Structure 1
């Protein structure tokens, strides 16, 4: 979910039309119903403790500057837009709330203070995402600041917009032309239950030494890609969580008045992906490569 596309004369709304037909070829079936993956050894899990502040583990990014895509929301650090709560199972969770009324649109954009921190691992989050016209929730990665976009890269694990109930797994690295063209990889996966209360499990595995990346939904790999040579190390990347409203990506649609919640039930970094690294290798050979933009 790039904030910088406009600098290079490219917006995701322009790219979207080029993606629509190609990206559904290998992923016409929705992912299976949610089942908790086998236990993995975490080296970091987010602490959703209602007695503490969201800002303890997450940095709020602030402003209403359009974020490179003519977005309408003002990102705040108030407890109206980001807070801890209990989900329907009574478990503590993190809530990002976008609020639209006739005069103001406010939301939250959070960056983890924790980086991926190692050369290989698995990042997983269970998220209930809002799905509506003019709404664009995302769970993604950018390198720790300072960084240079687009050469340092971007990984989109979950993003969906305009109520389409389609997840976009994306790798953005480099510009959109010349020798950088093939660095961009995208797959669209139908997720009809995107906003179900129990959440959807999204995952991302990386192995710096082999240069292999895999994206998962409910433990099923949906896209593979190679890390382009000479780019920022995956260990430097941080988690981004946000809900954007309006702008180019949603084709200028303004959301209806109301509240739109993105519920993060759990998020953690693990020693390995579901099934371990031998299963990762098997998945690598059987998972379709992301389509170029």
Structure 2
């Protein structure tokens, strides 16, 4: 006997069957439970394979080597790069500070600063390095986030990549790829996009994505500001493979690009909020392809 027939007999015995409102249908089985809707997939940032630790209890030299000296650094710069904790340190809020100090009344070391080179290399055939920065902006001050091959290397034959650099208080970021001198037949061995950025002194993210074949020459590169592709360039033959490159962060004083200008006495801080390397840029390599199709080609300098 079906469950419905058993239930009908039970109602007959209770003499209440006819009291059930006809508008309520008999349910032979419980209503199905609506299936849970699938969560909407949201894009998550690529996980880093390396991220600098800016905890205040971690020494700066855990992540970086201090490059030292006042030799002009090939640009007639004025600063003396030192490893003093006055010039490079971590804050209680987990930020790295690179501080240039101008003190014209001192007989020596009128300008001190820090130049930090990462122990970590880019290490991957293809990947993305990105930093969140708040830079100083003033006459005679030249902050930079860039990359060179690990030593020993031949500059500029094996290449240089500038991801963020600005000087003299000009509100312009210079994205650059260099692999030659600036004279003679090397004049066109440079790719540059100068991007006006009115609030350059505010916090922004600056990134560089590279894509190479597993072996040999060639490849493609895209520079990003706040996730937007702002320059692209082919990787030229002869440039060192990016696996061997390191990150550099520094604040220079004076130098050729500053045209003889010097800063007023005081402190000038490059604040590094975050520095990481991931296996792909935001949006993955499919986004890289879309960015490649529309990004500006770097021009000869």
Q: Would the TM-score normalized by the shorter structure come out above 0.5? A: yes
Question: How many residue pairs are counted as aligned between the two chains?
Answer: 251
CA RMSD of aligned residues (A): 1.3
Offset at residue 56 of structure 1 (A):
1.2
Q: Which runs of 5+ in 2 are unaligned?
A: 1-42
Match of 1:149 among 133, 146, 155: 155
**Which residue of the partner structure matches residue 46 of structure 1?**
52
- 2:66 maps to 1:57: no
**Which residue of the partner structure matches residue 101 of structure 1?**
103
Deviations 1:247-292 (A, max 9, x none): 2110010100000000000000001011110110111111110010
Q: Highest relative contact order (Cα 8 Å, sep 6+), 1 or 2?
A: 1
Deviations 1:98-122 (A, max 9, x none): 1001131100000000000011001
More displaced, 168-177 or 263-272?
168-177
Larger Cα-atom Rg? 2
TM-score norm. by structure 1 comes to 0.83
CA contact (8 A) 2:124 2:279 kept: no
- 2:284 maps to 1:292: no
Match of 2:136 among 130, 141, 166: 130
**C-alpha separation in 2, matches of 1:164 and 1:38:** 34
**Which residue of the partner structure matches residue 85 of structure 1?**
91
**C-alpha separation in 1, matches of 2:98 and 2:209:** 25
Q: Which runs of 5+ in 1 are unaligned?
A: 1-36
**C-alpha separation in 2, matches of 1:38 and 1:202:** 18
3-state SS, counterpart of residue 254 of structure 1: coil
**C-alpha separation in 2, matches of 1:230 and 1:258:** 42
- 2:206 maps to 1:206: no
Give runs of ≥4 in structure 1 deviating > 6 Å.
Answer: none
Deviations 1:209-264 (A, max 9, x none): 26100000000000000000132101111000000011211001010000000000
